[in-house]
Chain A
Amino acid sequence: MARMKFLCDAERCIECNACVTACKNENEVPWGINRRRVVTINDGSPGERSLSVACMHCSDAPCAAVCPVDCFYTTDDGVVLHDKDICIGCGYCFYACPFGAPQFPTTGAFGSRGKMDKCTFCAGGPEADNSSEERRKYGSNRLAEGKLPLCAEMCATRALLAGDGDTVSNIFRERVTWRGSSGLTWGWGVAYSKPGLRRGRGVEGKAAGKD
C-alpha cells in the first residue's frame, strides 16, 4: 500500500499561491477557509524561502489523538481523514496540530465554529467515493479516480510534490544531489544569465561538473 505524503521543495517554491487557489477551486471549500497556505520566511530578504503547507497526513496524527469525539481515521493510503457527521467543531485539533491545518467556518451564533474542514489529500471522506454527499462535505475525491491532489498537479515549478512517500523522496533526493546552485542565487543575473558571477562567488553548487 502506498503511504501518501506531501513534500514542498523550498528551493523551488516561488510563492505563487496557485496551489492554494487550485485547492479552493477543486474542493469548493467554504468562504474563509483555505486548506492550504503558502508561508514565506524572511520575506523580501536574501535567502527568503517559501513553503506550501497543508495537512501533512501524519502517521501518528495529534488531531486524531486529541479529538474529544474521535472523528479521525487513517485510510489504507496513509491519508488522515475525518467524519464531519461526528465532528462537533470544538477546535481542539487546530490547537494540537503543528501545521495549523484544521480550519473552521464561522457559521454559528457568537462566531462559533462550524464543523472542521481540512486537506483530504483530495481523497474525500467516509461517504461512498465521488458521491454527491461526499463532494458536498469534503470536496473532490481525486485519489479514487487514480489522480493525485490538484495542488501538486498544478504546481508550476514542481515545488509541491504529492504521492507515495518513496516516490516523492526519490524525486527529492535526486534534486538535492544534482541541484544546480547552492541557494545563493539571489538576483536575476546570478540566477539566470551570468554563470561566471556564480562561479566568482563560489556558488556553483554540486552540479558544476555535470555539464
Chain B
Amino acid sequence: MNGLAAHEVTVAYGRQTVLDRASIHIGPGETVGLRGPSGCGKSTLVRVLALLHRPDDGHVSIDGNPVTGARYRVAAAVRTRIGVLFQSPRSAADPRLSLADIIAEPLRATKAERIQDRVVELAYTAGLTTDLLRRQPHAVSDGQLQRACLARALAHRPDYLLCDEATTMLDASTQAHVAAVITDHQHRHGTGVLLITHDPALMHRWAHRVIDWPPDQAAPATAVEHADHH
C-alpha cells in the first residue's frame, strides 16, 4: 500500500507509555489532520514517523516497505523522503548559521548539485527576500525563520511532510503563506501531509481527513471523513 504508515507503534519514556499500539496512514497527496490535547503523544508520533525515534514496538513503513531502526541507522535517501516542520523555528534552526546555510544544509549533507541556485529558488518559494538570507536566526522574526525552516524541509522535495504545530507561533499572514506554499508543493509533487494544529479553521480548510488523538483503542476507526475541500 502506498503511503507513510505507522503500524501498532508503542513508545514509552521510562514507565510512561506515550503511544500504545498506535497506527496511522498518510496517503500520497493526502492531508491528514491530527488533533488532541497537549501531551497526548502527537509530537512523539511525528518523531516516529520522521524516523527520528525508534519505537519500542511496531514499525513505520514507506510505500509498503518497512523501515528498521531510526536516525542515522536509516539510509539518508530514505530519511530525506520525509520532511519535518517543527513548532518552534528558534530551536529548529542552528543559531550559528545564516538563513542561506540553514536552507542549504540538507543539500550539502547529501552533496546535491547547484546548491546556490536551489537555495535562492527555495527561499523565493518560501517568501524570503535575498537580503534576509545573510542574516542569522537571532536577527530575523519567528515568521521569517519558520519560512527558512519550510524552505529547508522542502529542499529534498519530500514525499511526505509532517507539520508539528508548525504555524502555531506565526502571525496570520505568515500562517496563510506557509499553508499556501505547502499546498502548492503538495499539488505539484503529490506530497502526503500530516498536519497537527489546534486551529479548527486551518484544520477544516486544509485537512482531507481529521483524526482525533489518542484514537479510541476499542474502536480504531475514529477518523472523521470530510468532503474534499479543494
> Is A bound to B?
no
Interface residues of A, Cβ cutoff 8 Å to B:
none
**Residues of chain B at the chain A interface (Cβ within 8 Å):** none
